């Protein structure tokens, strides 16, 4: 089940980012299911080159709680580093990431409320895919 879930979720992130020309990302991969070797290869060989082509300039990343997945994320970031145009920061929670990502406390508060309101809806729509990455994407 989650072998199809991770690529499908990451494909949706690419599609939304392309459609809306997203420049700033908050990616919460804290509860991402354990990434297997096939998924890691797919992320590295298929997804990452396409992600690098996006106009992302700022990436706030809520790190996985699982050490294995932390290493997977770090490896992807190292592979993606030849493109130094994105400013990447790591966080342990969403509010801190939003504070860094947004231009003001007011905007951060609004985004945090939207995020919290969207989570139950996300969980209900994707119950069979729980643990897939969640992202807030913003344009300047």
What are the domain boundaries of the chain?
2-138
Q: Low-confidence residues of the chain, pLDDT below 50?
A: 1-3, 122-130
- Continuous segment of H or E residues that includes residue 62: strand 58-62
State residue 127's pLDDT score: 39
State residue 70's pLDDT score: 94
State residue 137's pLDDT score: 56
State residue 103's pLDDT score: 83
State residue 121's pLDDT score: 53
Per-residue pLDDT reduced to its tens digit, 56-71: 999 999 999 999 999 9
Closest among 89, 90, 94, 82 to 51, alpha carbons compared: 82
What distance lies between CA 112 and its chain's CA centroid? Answer: 15
State residue 13's pLDDT score: 92
Assign 3-state DSSP to the chain and report helix, strand, coil percentages, each to 5: 60, 15, 30
Q: At what angle do helices 105-125 and 94-101 cross, to 10 degrees?
A: 130
**Do the bridges between strand 24-28 and strand 134-138 make them parallel or antiparallel, or are there none, so unpaired?**
antiparallel
């Amino acid at each position: 089940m989650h072998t199809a879930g991770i690529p499908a979720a990451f494909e949706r992130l690419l599609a939304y980012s392309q459609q809306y020309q997203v420049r700033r990302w908050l990616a919460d991969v804290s509860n991402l299911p354990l990434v297997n070797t096939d998924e890691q290869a797919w992320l590295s060989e298929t997804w990452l080159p396409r992600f690098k082509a996006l106009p992302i300039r700022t990436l706030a990343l809520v790190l996985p709680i699982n050490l294995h997945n932390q290493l997977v994320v770090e490896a992807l970031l190292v592979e993606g580093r030849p493109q130094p145009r994105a400013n990447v920061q790591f966080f342990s929670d969403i509010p801190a990431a939003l504070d860094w990502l947004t231009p003001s406390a007011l905007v951060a508060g609004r985004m945090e409320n939207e995020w919290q309101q969207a989570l139950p809806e996300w969980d209900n729509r994707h119950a069979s895919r729980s643990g897939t990455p969640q992202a807030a994407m913003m344009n300047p």
